[in-house]
Each structure stands twice: as structure tokens, then as C-alpha cells.
Amino acid sequence: MKAFLKVFVTIISILYPVLLCVLVGYFHIEPKIVSLCVVIMALVFFLSATSVNPKQKSDITNKKQKRFTFSIRPLLSAIFLFTVGTVTYITNKFLFLRLYPVIVSLSLLSIFGISVINKPTLVYRMAILKDKHIVGSINEHRIERYCNIVNYIWCIHFILNILVSLGTVIFTEIYPVEVYPQYQIVLFNKIKGDIWTIYNGGISYGIMFSIFTVEFIVRWFVNKSMAKIYPITKFTAKSRKDDFILCYEEKWSSKKYKTWKDFLTDTAKLRTFINTKNAERWILHVDDYYFFLCCFVALLQCKKQVALTANISEEFIKEMKQPEDEFLTDAPNQPGSYYVPDVIANIASPSEEEIRTTPAINADETKIHMFTSGSTGKPKVVLQRMTEFEMDNAFVLSMWGEEFLKRKHVATVSQHHIYGFLFTISLPFTAGIPFRRTRIEFPTEFEKLDDEKYTIIAVPAFLKRTIETEDKLDLIDPFIITSGGILLPEVAKKTNEVFGFWPVEVYGSTETSGIAHRQSKNGLEWTPFANALISKNEDGCLNIKSPYIKDPNGFQTADLVDILEDGRFILKGRADSIVKIEEKRISLPEVESRILQTGLVKDVCVVAMSDRRQYLAAALVFNKEGEAKFKDWKKFDINMFFHDYLLNFFENVVLPKKWRYLSELPMDLQGKKKKLEIQALFTKSEDGDKIKQ
């Protein structure tokens, strides 16, 4: 019964002007009779607003108790209708009955209008209630903007409807058809009514229906244009059209493309090859991003474990490779490996059925081995899954997806590390963003990227190299992401001058994935990602909990932090960068910072050494000013210059005892300094002979 009343009340509320139009215009019923109908409607509203619900049994009487409940909205409608009906009966005029559409539009305007001020808007709230996947999706901000526009349109409609409805009420009162029959309107030769009746009982409904219809059609086109997300573990052959451009060579306008059909064909070939081998784990080192993607996907489709490595030195491969492992690479003449371009070229073309077959990938069951040097420089294996990778991609796309979608992808980083893999392989594939097949290796290559908007995935070291050799790049609205190390504020500023964009810095690690982000034009504070919970342990180091970390206790980093009141934090260096020299604690980054303050050095690395005693050693790279100043100096004199300068800040006992002056510091593809190689510089004399201690 209660459900019936609710439906009945809803229908009456919507069709009220139409009913009044029929009663007055067709049946010519007097106001007093209509007012009685309104009072009856008020009673129905009141009944729908009240209900009796059984309560739990009383502990004393052991009987069910009853309680009355009220629904506020129909109750208010009941009070309003009863008041209007009573006044209409007393005055015998339709004035108050005719104000109903005005009051309804005013109420709706209040609801929609308040949500404009107190966002999210009502239309957007209704959208996310209907589809909970909107929040956190790549299309979230676009959908919100669309819903906001629809919300504004309804607000404008209600404002105009209030004005017109109120105008028809006033006009009808001034010129009643009984006195001015020339204003009477006849519909279908039967229904006679005034302007109020025709507008509020017909025209206003036609306008609302038109708005609904047009919005439905527009929404269909908007939905069709939305970005389609297909992660590596969820795509099918039908996810993209065959001619969809997956990647390109050199630059976008070169028109050297690989399509979706090419990708399906090459992965089918690689599956055929992989299935001829018994290995469960495959080492993967492929510099070509397209070949890497094909190999990686094919291995997962064949349920294989994948070990990603950027280091393919003979010693390292011997150390990590098990006898049963296989090795895929595009590096020529690599011992014990399969050369990927030849593998793809030599496999017979698959059938159409094989091309259209995309074996399922269970993200939770994937096993991806990544190698990280951490703080020691000695590689260690971190086991990852696509589950966490794809969660990370979804979150990053929810933040910067619109920026990515407006541009093509280029990168300076290796895809064999987590940062490179997430941003150069997994993310563009998932979002359908065309990416460049090869890594940018030289700063001069940026000069050619003047044909299209590009997202640049970089590391601080490469940005630093670029701004030292380039003045102003003619790029079109670039968007730069950088990670893998700290970007110094002065480098970020210079990057903006050269590229035309302040880089977005992402802080994270192989173990934690993304933790926080910043743009140094807004300050040096890091803003944690919304899905990351940070805290500081008793040693002052950052602890991180996030969906990507399986340990419920989170991951303990070695990064020293200060957490601010607003939840942001400042990095203060690494705990393992604090060393003891002659029982005195000294911060290696602080020594490096003081050396950079001379204005004569563009890069420096201070390391702790130990033989019969502990001491510091410093490797420096001069800038132009430094090269000019020390051009004719002896090495001993240069050493003493920096020694005397540092005496202004530190005790003599902790100052670097050995110095090396290099053209550049040893770094990996991620732009991280190779600490072990730098330390090795101080175990040999500069002519290569072992130093006798």
C-alpha cells in the first residue's frame, strides 16, 4: 500500500498542471470543487509521508512495539496542498492553485542551485551514484564538467520557467477569460483554457521533454568520445580498431606507425615461439618499446614469469640467469639470448583466428621480477604483479589523464625499471596513447619534436643535460613527468625556461610505486597521493601504506622527512647518507650541497670509504666557470681550494680526503649515480694503478 501511495503521489506531483488544465479547461469545474480535490491530494500525501513500522520486542512485555515514522518531503507537500486547497475554497479563486508550478520550479532551482555553490553538483552526484566507477577514472574530470554544464542548463530552465509561469499567473488574474474571452485558447476543439493552462499544462512539459531528449543524444556522443581504458591484463582483440595507431618512429608526423593489427599479429608470433620452450622464467631486455610490449604481453599470455633487467653485462646475466631460464633481447650478439627482431621475422604469419585470440591474463597470478640497487648499488630482486601496476596506472590517469590524452608520448627512460615501465609501456597502452618506439638518447632530439604536442617522460639527470646544451626548445605545449631522483629547484626552473613547462615530479620506489608529487614552482613540499598514507617512524624516516604495498604494516623507507601540519612533507635526505667519520656524524648530501654552492661545480657525489680508517671522498664535474678557473691549476691546489672552502662549514676531520675531477659522473639509464663505480674510482690511482695505503 505504501509503495502504491508513493507511486501515486509522484505521478500527481508531476502531472498536477495537466490535471488542473483538464479539470478547468475540459470539465469547467468550479474552484471550490477543485480545491476539495486538492485537499484530498493533501491527505494522500500525508498518508504517504507517515508509516507504522514494527519495532523490536520489548524486554519487559516481550511484545513487538510500533512506532510512527515521517518522510519530510511528502509531509511538506501535504501541508502546502492543504493550505492552498483551503485558501482556494475560501476565496473561490484559482490564484493559489496556479502558483504551484512556480513553487515547484523554485524548489528545484534551490536544490540544483545550492549544489552549484556546494559542489559536486546534483547531476554529477546522480551520475556517480549510478556508476561508481566514474570516481577515480581517467574520464572523471571530463564527466564532472559535462554534468556541471547540464546542471547549469537545468538551473537556467528553472529560472526562465519561474518567470514565465509567474507571468502567466499574473496575466490570467488581470485578464480572466470570463471577462476577456478573446484571450481564451482552444485546443483540439475541446479543451478551452487560458494562457496559464496552456503553458503550465502543456508547453512547459514539452520544453522539459526537449531538454531530456537533446541531453540524451548529446550524452551518447560524449560517451562515445570518452577515453577507453584497456589494461594489459584486460584487453581483447576487439578493444581497438585494427588501424588504431599504437606507436610511431622518430616523431608523429613521420607517419611510420605500428597499428593494433600489427601488435596482435606480432604477439601471436611470439606466443608461438615461447610455447616451443620449456622455460618458466624469461629474462627480458628490449630497448625498442614496441618490441618490449609485444614480448611482455606474449610472455604473460603464456603464463610465464618475466625478469626485467636494464643491465645485460655478461657478469650480471651470469649472476641472475638460472640454467632453465631463457633470454629475449633486441641487443645484437648477446650470448645465450634470442634476438627479438629475428624471432618475429622468422615465425610464419599466424592465421586470422590466432591473431584474434588473446589468451586471458590473471593479474593476480603474474610474476614480474624487477631489480633495484637501493642504497648499496648491489642489485636485489623485487617481485611485482600487474595487479598493483594497473592500480597505479588507474590512479595516475585519474590525476593527469586529460593531459596525457591531449599529447603523444616520448621518453628518455628505460622501461626495465618500475618508473619507466609504468609510464612508457603500461600507461600509454592502457589509455590508448601513441608512444615513440625508441628512447630519446640525446638532448638534440627534442629539437625535432615541433610537429605535435608531446608528454615527455624523463629523469632529472637527462633534463639537466638538456638545459645545459639547449637554449629554448620550440615545443608545442609539452607536459613533463620526471622521477628516479630529486630534481633540484634551479634545474626545474631552467627546465621551464628551456621546455616551457615546470616538470611534475613523482616520488616513489620499486617497492612502493608512486608516493607523492610536486611542482617546485609551488614549493619544495611533496603532496602524498590520495591513496597513500604516510607517517614518520622513531628514526625520522618515512613509512608508507598504500594499495600497492602488500604488507599491512606498510613499507619503511630510508628517506628522512619532516611531515607538515597539512599532510605534505619535506625530504631531508636518506638515513643511509648519514655516516660517522671519527665518531662524528656527517650528512653526505650536505657536503655535496656546500660544494655546489661554490658555483664552480655542476655535479658532485660524495661517498664514504673505508680501509684502515673511514673517510670521505668526492667526485666532481666542473661547470664552465669551474673549467675556466682551474684550467692551469695543479690537482693539489684544486684539492686545497675545496678543502679550505669546506672548512668554513665542517671540522677538518670530516672533510673529503680524496678528490676526483671527471667529465661526467657514472650514471644508469634512470639518471641515478652509480655509487659502486664512483667508489671504485678511489681504490685506483688516476692512471689506473692500485693505490698503496
* Among 173, 165, 168, 166, residue whose Cα is nearest residue 208: 165
Last residue of a domain, one of 384, 402, 419: 384
User: How many CB atoms within 10 Å of residue 65?
Assistant: 11
**Domain annotation covers residue 609:** yes
Name all contacts of 174-177 with Cβ < 8 Å and 24+ positions apart: none
User: Quick one: pLDDT at residue 688?
Assistant: 41
First vs last C-alpha separation in the chain: 98
Q: Are 405 and 433 in contact (CB under 8 A)?
A: yes
The helix/strand/coil state of 487 is coil
Q: What average pLDDT does the segment 647-655 reach?
A: 87
What's the mean per-residue pLDDT of the chain? 86
Q: Are strands 338-339 and 326-329 parallel, antiparallel or unpaired?
A: parallel
The yes-or-no verdict on residue 259 having pLDDT over 90 is yes
User: Lowest-confidence range among 58-62, 300-304, 470-474?
Assistant: 58-62
The yes-or-no verdict on residue 221 having pLDDT over 70 is yes
Task: Mark whether 267 and 366 lie in a shared domain.
Answer: yes
* Grid cell locating 256: 611510420
Cell numbers 626495465: residue: 416
Backbone angles phi, psi at 387, to 5 degrees: -55, -55
Q: ω before 17 within 30° of 0 (cis)?
A: no
The yes-or-no verdict on residue 66 having pLDDT over 60 is no
Task: Mark whether 170 and 287 lie in a shared domain.
Answer: no
What is the Cα–Cα distance from 410 to 448, expressed in whole angstroms? 12
**Domain annotation covers residue 643:** yes
Q: How far is CA 417 from CA 382, 462, 576, in A?
A: 11, 16, 22
Which amino acid is it at 296?
F
The yes-or-no verdict on residue 468 having pLDDT over 80 is yes
The yes-or-no verdict on residue 218 having pLDDT over 80 is yes
Last residue of a domain, one of 384, 406, 434: 384
Q: What average pLDDT does the segment 439-458 reach?
A: 95
User: Quick one: pLDDT at residue 375?
Assistant: 47
User: Quick one: pLDDT at residue 190?
Assistant: 46
User: Quick one: pLDDT at residue 305?
Assistant: 97
User: Total structural domains in the chain?
Assistant: 3
The helix/strand/coil state of 178 is coil
* Grid cell locating 520: 617546485
* Range list of β-strands (E), 117-231: 185-187, 191-193
**Domain annotation covers residue 537:** no
Q: What average pLDDT does the segment 74-100 reach?
A: 75
Q: What is the CATH number of the domain that holds 336?
A: 3.40.50.12780
The yes-or-no verdict on residue 16 having pLDDT over 70 is no
User: How many CB atoms within 10 Å of residue 34?
Assistant: 20
Confidence of residue 42 (pLDDT cuts 50, 70, 90): confident
What is the Cα–Cα distance from 136 to 129, expressed in whole angstroms? 14
User: How many CB atoms within 10 Å of residue 453?
Assistant: 15
Task: Mark whether 37 and 186 lie in a shared domain.
Answer: yes
The helix/strand/coil state of 517 is strand
Last residue of a domain, one of 207, 239, 273: 207
Q: What average pLDDT does the segment 377-393 reach?
A: 85
What is the Cα–Cα distance from 495 to 462, expressed in whole angstroms? 11
Q: What is the DSSP code (8-state) at residue 445?
A: G
- Residue 590 Cα to chain centre, angstroms: 34
Task: Mark whether 263 and 181 lie in a shared domain.
Answer: no
Q: What is the CATH number of the domain that holds 673?
A: 3.30.300.30
**Domain annotation covers residue 392:** no
Backbone angles phi, psi at 179, to 5 degrees: -95, -35
The helix/strand/coil state of 293 is helix
Task: Mark whether 11 and 95 lie in a shared domain.
Answer: yes
Task: Mark whether 360 and 311 lie in a shared domain.
Answer: yes
User: Quick one: pLDDT at residue 674?
Assistant: 83
Instruction: State pLDDT tens for residues 558-613.
Output: 888 899 999 999 988 777 677 877 667 788 888 998 999 999 998 999 998 887 67
Q: What average pLDDT does the segment 496-500 reach?
A: 95
User: Lowest-confidence range among 395-409, 551-565, 625-639?
Assistant: 551-565
Q: What average pLDDT does the segment 458-483 reach?
A: 92
- Residue 617 Cα to chain centre, angstroms: 42
Instruction: State pLDDT tens for residues 128-145.
Output: 999 988 888 888 889 999
**Domain annotation covers residue 670:** yes
Element (H, E) at 449: none
Task: Mark whether 6 and 84 lie in a shared domain.
Answer: yes
- Residue 282 Cα to chain centre, angstroms: 31
Q: Are 299 and 283 in contact (CB under 8 A)?
A: no
User: Quick one: pLDDT at residue 645?
Assistant: 93
Confidence of residue 691 (pLDDT cuts 50, 70, 90): very low
Task: Mark whether 336 and 299 lie in a shared domain.
Answer: yes
**Domain annotation covers residue 93:** yes
User: Quick one: pLDDT at residue 87?
Assistant: 78
Which amino acid is it at 430?
T
Number of residues written out for the chain: 693
User: How many CB atoms within 10 Å of residue 458?
Assistant: 25
The helix/strand/coil state of 661 is strand
* Grid cell locating 119: 559542489
User: Quick one: pLDDT at residue 376?
Assistant: 46
Q: What average pLDDT does the segment 299-309 reach?
A: 96
- The pTM of this model reads 0.73
The yes-or-no verdict on residue 369 having pLDDT over 60 is yes
Instruction: State pLDDT tens for residues 170-206.
Output: 887 776 655 556 555 554 444 445 677 778 877 888 8
Q: Are 525 and 568 in contact (CB under 8 A)?
A: yes
* Grid cell locating 359: 589468451
Q: Are 409 and 428 in contact (CB under 8 A)?
A: yes
Task: Mark whether 237 and 194 lie in a shared domain.
Answer: no
What is the Cα–Cα distance from 537 to 534, expressed in whole angstroms? 10
**Domain annotation covers residue 460:** no
Task: Mark whether 57 and 96 lie in a shared domain.
Answer: yes
Q: What average pLDDT does the segment 102-115 reach?
A: 90
* Grid cell locating 233: 591484463
- Residue 567 Cα to chain centre, angstroms: 20
What is the Cα–Cα distance from 99 to 173, expressed in whole angstroms? 11
Q: Which structural domain, as residue segments, surrounds residue 644?
A: 582-680
What is the Cα–Cα distance from 195 to 183, expressed in whole angstroms? 8
Instruction: State pLDDT tens for residues 420-437.
Output: 999 999 999 999 999 999
Task: Mark whether 308 and 202 lie in a shared domain.
Answer: no
User: Quick one: pLDDT at residue 347?
Assistant: 94
Angle of helix 588-596 versus helix 635-646 axis, rounded to 10: 110
Instruction: State pLDDT tens for residues 224-258.
Output: 889 899 999 999 999 999 999 999 999 999 999 99
User: Quick one: pLDDT at residue 18?
Assistant: 66
Dihedral sign for Cα atoms in the order 431, 435, 441, 442: negative
Task: Mark whether 166 and 295 lie in a shared domain.
Answer: no
The helix/strand/coil state of 187 is strand
**Domain annotation covers residue 270:** yes
